[in-house]
Amino acid sequence: MSTLVFRGSVAASLLTAFLTGMLISTAQAGEASGTLVHQARSGPIEVKPKHAYLVVGPNFENKTVRLLVLSEADMTAAIKGCDRLGCVAGELMAGTTVEFDAGSRMGYWFVANGQRVQHSDTARPETMNLSQNTPQRLAGQWSLTGGVGPTGSVKFDATLVKTFSKP
């Protein structure tokens, strides 16, 4: 009978891979509710997110950020299939992403109608009223008023569903 002995970094790497796999396989959408309205040329466009996700990874400036994803559709399988952070936004057809930890303002991207309607901007941190703000969870309410982008308010509770190593 043979015995396997794991040493140092090999054991740590296997454990990390196992736990990452468990996290990805059990990842579930958090809840979101509310409405964001964007005044497009064709008239007002409403997005009503029902799902909330928190993903982490490097942005295109190679800074590690937390990305809050608020989506009308369940994106669990799409996020699981992504191999880089940028892929997540590419899979979002109606909703918004909000980037935390990249600077003094939060960058956001609003999309609707299968990405045919898009608006990107930054929001002041005061627009985000957080009851939970940890590396593993974001919960609270985001309210946008005035300006040229979407307006409205969304409540959300998002737990970390995936960490990426590529932008």
| pLDDT tier at 2, thresholds 50, 70, 90 | very low
Question: What integer is the mean pLDDT of 58-87?
Answer: 96
Domain edges within the chain: 30-163
Tokens 């939060």 found at: 106
Q: Would you state the pLDDT for residue 92?
A: 98
pLDDT category of residue 167 using cuts at 50, 70 and 90? very high
pLDDT of res. 39: 92
CA dist 167 and 165 (Å) reads: 7
Taking only the tens place, the pLDDT of each residue in 15-51 is 343 444 434 445 689 999 999 999 988 899 999 999 9
Residue 118 one-letter amino acid: Q
User: Residues 62-82: what's their mean pLDDT?
Assistant: 97
Tokens, residue 37: 């309205």
Exposure letters 35-60 (e unless 16+ CB within 10 A, then b): ebebeeeeeebebbbbbbbbbbbbbe
Residue with tokens 């609003």: 110
Span between the terminal Cα atoms of the chain, in Å: 45
pLDDT digits (tens, 9 = 90+) for 116-151: 999 999 999 999 999 999 999 999 999 999 778 999
pTM to 2 decimal places: 0.83
What is the model's pLDDT at position 68?
A: 98
| Residue 77: C-alpha distances to residues 8, 31, 61, 147, 162 (Å) | 33, 16, 27, 34, 11
Instruction: Return the beta strands (E) in 23-150 as ranges.
Output: 30-40, 43-47, 51-58, 64-71, 95-100, 106-112, 117-123, 128-134, 137-144
Query: For a pLDDT cut of 70, what percent of the chain falls above it?
Result: 84
